[in-house]
Amino acid sequence: MRLAHFLLSQRLQQVAAVGCCLSSARCSQGRLLARYMPSHQARLSFRQVSSTMEDILSKCVPPLPPYETKDKTPPPHESQSLHFMQHYRSLDKSHRAALLGELASGYGVDHAQVAELSGKLVQDQQKRDLGTVLQVEDRLRYYLTPQYKVLFYQISKLQGGVKFLVDLRADIIESMATKLADGPQIREMNGVLRSMLSEWFSVGFLHLERITWQSPCEVLQKISEYEAVHPVRNWTDMKRRVGPYRRCFTFTHSSMPGEPLIVLHVALMQHITGNIQAIVKEIAPSETEDSNKIKSAIFYSISSTQQGLQGVELGNYLIKRVVKELQGEFPQISEFSSLSPIPGFTKWLLGALNSQTKENGRMELFLESECKEISDITGAPAAEAMKRLLTNNEWMKSERLVKALEAPMMRLCAWYLYGEKHRGFALNPVANFHLQNGAVMWRLNWMADTSPRGATSSCGMMVNYRYFLENTGANSSSYLRLKQIEASEQVLSLVSQFKKNSKL
């Protein structure tokens, strides 16, 4: 049976291992599986679970019509798609992963048909009959359509169907990450669904909305919950973030009303700040916005709200639209910049320290004078002291340590952002995002975020990515084509210091 091997690797095997006699009153999995069994039957076999899922899919997944009748075949009845949606929603996480695995492996492309057409295409190309070649290519494209894509397309036409597919893709991503479901077939299904969502959520179908304190309470609540960069503390904090000298924008889609897809928070200031506390600090609610004080727009938080839209380009378009919106409202704004976190820096640095001390028995990322100063302050060897300091935030309370660590940490962080690469692009995901958008790595800021989160992820540092509007297109192209990072003199100077003084 097609599902057997897949289910054996999942938590469903645990169901069979519990004695095959699960009480519906004591086990949620027992309740779930009993739903598909006669009420008098308590024993739930692996074969029956597998058979139930295959039966559901065979009834709900519409077949790909023959090529000759594809334009004349009536669409499947919507009850099939509704039945699939209802059944899927009734399942728990492990059963959903199992169903997705069976859908990917059993209802994909007809490989035999594709192989036959591919061979025919090669033969026709050798005959140089262009008309026949084009016909065979069209037929081949058609049969490269996975059967489950027909189901996804039918679901998308139902009310709430697009949101269902976004959530379903989130389940696919989670299942692959947790290894509940993995392999080339489910990865292929993930790519197919991502391509479909990219078409439906292209920029022409997105609506830019500014969020204010007068926006619906449900929307404000969702934005507060979705904030992933600088958590919203309370309703007063939320009111400040949509009040004077602040702007909040979202992209929405007509198929998902009331759901912000991505959220961008902007601070309107007199200059480009390098400290997040200067942005999220309290602002008197009664303060009136004075446009004469607004010279800079700082993008200090951008959060994607739908995991199922991962890999679908939204943030780039949102920033561009917001820039145009702000230019229309404040023509005097001359500076556009982000104030961005540096997730992963502390983890990277700990890994580098562990690797160096293991291989060389000493720490070569710091100068001898810096190691001595760290040892004098902490009373321990510099390498041991640094590993201990990086696992807690207590060092930020010591003025001596804050001053001693500034120079080495700044050059190490500059190298992490500029020099550490993944397939030629910036390793840091936030850096990669802004550089793809055409921004310049402009300024690294010491003690820019002393919150527990900022201290833990990046030793309190943040970075400004500056958007010089006249150069963003050229910068983006240079980065994407040549993998060249545009950076300021400050960043390049720090990188040069790293190359001269540190060994990695």
Rounded Cα gap, residues 441 and 424, in angstroms: 16
Find the DSSP H helices in 128-234. 130-143, 147-156, 161-177, 184-200, 217-226
Measured distance CA(25)–CA(19) in Å, rounded: 16
Task: Please give the Cα distance from 124 to 134 (Å, whole number).
Answer: 10
Reference 240, options 305, 274, 287, 291; nearest CA is 287
Catalytic position from the list 81, 304, 340, 502: 340
Distance CA 246, CA 243 (A): 6
Q: Give strand pairing partners of 463.
A: 340, 444
Q: Based on the residue annotation, tell me whether 340 is a catalytic residue of this protein.
A: yes
Q: How far apart are CA 362 and CA 380, in angstroms?
A: 13
To the query of whether residue 255 is one of the catalytic residues in this protein, the response is no
- Using DSSP, state whether 300 is helix, strand or coil: strand
Rounded Cα distance, 364 and 343, in Å: 23
Q: State how far the Cα of 165 lies from the Cα of 289, in Å rounded to an integer.
A: 42
Question: How far is the C-alpha of 111 from the C-alpha of 99, rounded, in Å?
Answer: 21
With b meaning 16 or more CB within 10 Å and e meaning fewer, what string describes 266-275? Answer: bbbbeebbbb
Residue with structure tokens 């990072």? 485
Catalytic residue (choose from 87, 94, 434, 457):
434
Residue pair 256/304 in contact by the 8 Å Cβ criterion: no
- CB contact set of 76 (below 8 Å; sequence gap of 6+): 62, 150, 154
CA-based diameter of the chain, in Å?
83
> How far is it, in rounded angstroms, from Cα 376 to Cα 385?
10
Please check whether residue 213 is in contact with residue 239, taking contact to mean a CB–CB distance below 8 angstroms: yes
- Cα 347 to Cα 355: distance, rounded to the nearest angstrom: 12
Residues tagged active-site:
340, 434
